[in-house]
Amino acid sequence: MRATRMRSLKRWSYFTLGIGCALVLVISGLGQEDEPPPADQPQEKPQQQREGPPPAAAVEFSPERNDMVTRTIEHPRDGRRAVKDKAVIAAMRQVPRHAFVPKNMRRRAYVDSPLPIGQGQTISQPYIVALMTELLELKPDSKVLEIGTGSGYQAAVLAHLTPHVYSIEIIKPLAERAKETLLEQGYKEVHTRHADGYFGWKEEAPFDAIIVTCAAGHLPPPLWDQLKPEGRIVIPIGGPYEVQRLVVVTKTTEGKRQSKTVISVRFVPMTGESRRSDKNDDKRP
């Protein structure tokens, strides 16, 4: 939520055009009969695709959105690592970021930078959203928890990768506004809650992946406890209003912790219980 980077008719599918989010129906096998699979091979279950945002929101600013994704995420020219996950790139092209920022900021929605969303918070730089999403390594059936709903933009991106998205926001006005925006944009599968994200969402645990979009001095123990074996947490670690480390923390099958620092970032701090317990240095990943 808050970061800036330091410098046939039987077989059909939808895909997004290079500009805009127009949908094209691809038809194959016209006039042919499908052969049944061999008896010893189970028939694959087709992967369901979400409907996505309403056409009006999807089309508006689509040239700017696609240009931003191409220049700053898919093919960055400033030495940053490119985001290569095609599903993540497709999600970034589809989610109307302008719908998740204040109206007076919409003309700047496709600049690759964070923007204020009120309550002293920001919507993250698009590149950071894409990078953190890629680092989660989500699968279509993954269950993911987001700490820091903010505007709801990150949750919307996640919803294009899995229908099992849970998001917590500690600031009530933001939580209410994000819930409303997500519903307006068609993201009904996203579950939101107003609560302290430090404690996670115990009733819905365990999770395959957890993304924390605010900086903490340490990895909150409840989040670690709610992570499945072989799951991963993407979290910025560091003090408030200083350079932090974007860290991927993986839980092995034996329950051990493995950590890897990806890049340096700046996020607004996690509040609530996290601020009260940040002095416990032995919890740092």
> What residues are labeled active site?
124
Cβ pair 237, 258 in contact under 8 A: no
Distance CA 85, CA 66 (A): 16
d(C-alpha 18, C-alpha 22), whole Å? 9
Residue 196 amino acid letter:
D
Sequence letter at residue 163 = P
Closest CA to 106 of 46, 153, 142: 153
CA distance 103 to 151: 13
Structure token pair of residue 225: 């406890």
* Structure-token match 């002095």, residue found: 279
Indicate the residue type of 213.
Answer: T
Strands (E), the chain: 3-5, 11-16, 23-28, 115-118, 121-123, 143-147, 164-169, 190-194, 207-212, 227-237, 244-251, 257-267
- Of 269, 270, 6, residue with least CA distance to 125: 6
How far apart, in Å, are the Cα atoms of 10 and each of 26, 28, 33, 35, 199?
Answer: 10, 7, 9, 12, 46
Helices (H), the chain: 55-59, 62-69, 86-94, 126-136, 153-159, 172-184, 221-225, 273-277
